[in-house]
């Protein structure tokens, strides 16, 4: 077992003397995806015999959304392109009839017992934590909504599956994992861990596709507050124009937002690309039953993803060059994106009409 993650799948192995015996779930495929929560869900479900693509996991979980969030505790506004952390997991479990067991506790000792037990019994475990403390992680920013799959441990290290960008099969010390799970703040949970089971065998997702799409579209079109859905994108378009004045250090803050949008997917193209691919897979799975609105949604989300990448580039350039005109252009594009995504979701919301 190495510190950078093991790819073998033995059950209980002997350590090297310094770390003691390795406990590792057999049969885990450490396949990293683009998004942390769908990566972890894929690991847990493949181990139970249900192998769905990452776009399919994201779409069946009705994961697409948008939020513009600003608060006194934030150094800079947060743009989010998905539903809040763990909502996707709950949606997916409900949609597919999965058995989701969630454990939370204020006790670090009990928190470890909650994950060591399933690992020792041969089942990988999902964890929600703050990525800031993970030793392998590429960013030092705090993010309490990060999700990983735990598939093994020894006396010193924990062995995880994270996104492809972070290395897929990775390792971090158990001390750092404990700090990541104990962190309190925005989007964190109380040492949350979870397992998934597939009672009755892998379900056929075809009959669940249209209800998942319609539920996602309706939530996007009728958000409870102006910070969410298409209204949130419109709001971002108005407010982004003043970000040079808002930023304490524009050369740091604005490129930082752009990196999150493009590489972490918080508000950029990543989730739009996933949803585009989900809609294409739905059309393939449904075949002659596919409604033409699926093609409309696919086309519009392909267009939207390209524009989100352009928005991120403009925001980065505004910070690096101090060019307010870039933010004006980004604001105009966000207004256009609100219209494109609203049109896409209106078409998709009608899938259930017939």
pLDDT at position 266, please? 78
Mean pLDDT of 60-64: 98
pLDDT at 169 over 70: yes
pLDDT at position 19, please? 54
Q: Where are the domains of the chain?
A: 12-52+99-197, 206-353
HSE-CB at 121 with a 13 A cutoff on CA atoms is 9
Per-residue pLDDT of 237-258, as tens digits, reads: 999 999 999 999 999 999 989 9
Q: Rounded to an integer, what distance in angstroms lies between the CA atom of residue 41 and that of residue 24? A: 18
Of 309, 265, 304, 86, nearest to 164 (Cα)?
Answer: 265
Q: Which residues pair with 153 in a beta bridge?
A: 23, 158
Q: Rounded to an integer, what distance in angstroms lies between the CA atom of residue 93 and that of residue 196? A: 8
CB-based burial label for 63 (10 Å; 0-12, 13-18, 19+): buried
pLDDT at 103 over 60: yes
Q: Which residues pair with 353 in a beta bridge?
A: none
* pLDDT tier at 1, thresholds 50, 70, 90: very low
Q: Rounded to an integer, what distance in angstroms lies between the CA atom of residue 305 and that of residue 262? A: 10
Which whole-number Å values give the CA distances from 308 to 134, 190, 209, 266, 347, in the listed order? 29, 33, 26, 11, 20
Weakest mean pLDDT among 4-13, 259-268, 275-284: 4-13
Q: Rounded to an integer, what distance in angstroms lies between the CA atom of residue 248 and that of residue 306? A: 29
* Stated length of the chain: 354
HSE-CB at 177 with a 13 A cutoff on CA atoms is 27
pLDDT at 153 over 70: yes
pLDDT at 69 over 60: yes
- Annotate 188-220 with b (16+ C-beta within 10 A) or e (fewer): bbebbbbbbebeeeebebeebbbebbbebbebb
Of 46, 16, 1, nearest to 170 (Cα)?
Answer: 1
Helix H, strand E, coil C: the string for the chain is CCCCCCCCCCCEECCCCCCCCEEECCCCCCCCCCCHHHHHHHHHHHHCCCCCCHHHHHHHCCCEEEEEECCCCCCCCEEEEECCCCHHHHHHHHHHCCEEEEECCCCHHHHHHHHHHHHHCCCCEEEEECHHHCCCCCCCCCCCCEEEEEEEECCCEEEEECCHHHCCEEEEEHHHHHHHHHCCCCCCCCCCEEEEECCCCCCCCHHHHHHHHHHHHHHHHCCCCCCEHHHHHHHHHHHHHHHHHHCCCHHHHHHHHHHHHHHHCCCCHHHHHHHHHHHHHHHHHHHHHCCHHHHHHHHHHHHHHHHHHHHHHHHHHHHHHCCHHHHHHHHHHHHHHHHHHHHHHHHHHCHHHC
Q: Which fold has domain 12-52+99-197?
A: Cathepsin B; Chain A (3.90.70)
pLDDT at 259 over 60: yes
Q: Rounded to an integer, what distance in angstroms lies between the CA atom of residue 213 and that of residue 278? A: 10
* pLDDT tier at 234, thresholds 50, 70, 90: very high
Q: Rounded to an integer, what distance in angstroms lies between the CA atom of residue 202 and that of residue 51? A: 9
Residue 262 CA from chain centroid, whole number: 13
pLDDT at position 183, please? 96
Residue 52, number of CB atoms within 10 A of its CB: 21
């Amino acid at each position: 077992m190495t510190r950078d993650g093991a790819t073998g799948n033995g059950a209980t192995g002997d350590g090297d003397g310094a770390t003691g015996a390795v406990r590792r779930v057999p049969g885990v495929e450490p396949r990293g995806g683009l998004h942390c929560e769908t990566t972890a869900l894929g690991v847990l479900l493949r181990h139970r015999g249900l192998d769905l693509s990452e776009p399919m996991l994201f779409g069946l979980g009705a994961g697409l959304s948008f939020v513009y969030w600003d608060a006194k505790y934030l150094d800079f506004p947060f743009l989010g392109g998905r539903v809040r952390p763990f909502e996707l997991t709950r949606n997916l479990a409900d949609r597919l009839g999965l058995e989701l067991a969630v454990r939370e506790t204020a006790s670090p000792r009990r928190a470890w017992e909650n994950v060591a037990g399933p690992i020792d019994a041969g089942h990988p475990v999902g964890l929600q934590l703050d990525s800031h403390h993970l030793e392998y992680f590429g960013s030092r920013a705090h993010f309490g909504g990060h999700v990983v799959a735990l598939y093994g441990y020894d006396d010193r290290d924990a062995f995880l599956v994270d996104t492809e960008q972070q290395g897929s099969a990775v390792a971090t010390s158990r001390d750092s994992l404990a700090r990541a799970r104990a962190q309190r703040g925005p989007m964190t949970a109380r040492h949350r861990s979870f397992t998934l089971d597939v009672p009755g065998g892998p379900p056929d997702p075809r009959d669940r596709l249209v209800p998942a799409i319609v539920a996602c579209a309706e939530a996007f079109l009728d958000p409870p507050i102006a910070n969410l859905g298409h209204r949130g994108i419109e709001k971002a378009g108005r407010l982004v124009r003043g970000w040079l004045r808002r930023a304490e250090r524009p050369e740091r803050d604005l490129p930082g937002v752009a990196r999150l949008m493009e590489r972490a997917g918080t508000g950029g193209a990543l989730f739009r690309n996933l949803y585009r691919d989900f809609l294409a897979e739905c059309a393939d799975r449904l075949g002659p039953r596919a409604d033409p609105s699926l093609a409309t949604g696919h086309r519009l989300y392909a267009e939207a993803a390209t524009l989100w990448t352009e928005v991120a580039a403009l925001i980065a350039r505004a910070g690096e060059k101090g060019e307010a005109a870039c933010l004006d252009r980004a604001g105009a594009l966000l207004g256009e994106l609100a219209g494109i995504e609203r049109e896409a979701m209106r078409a998709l919301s009608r899938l259930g009409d017939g």
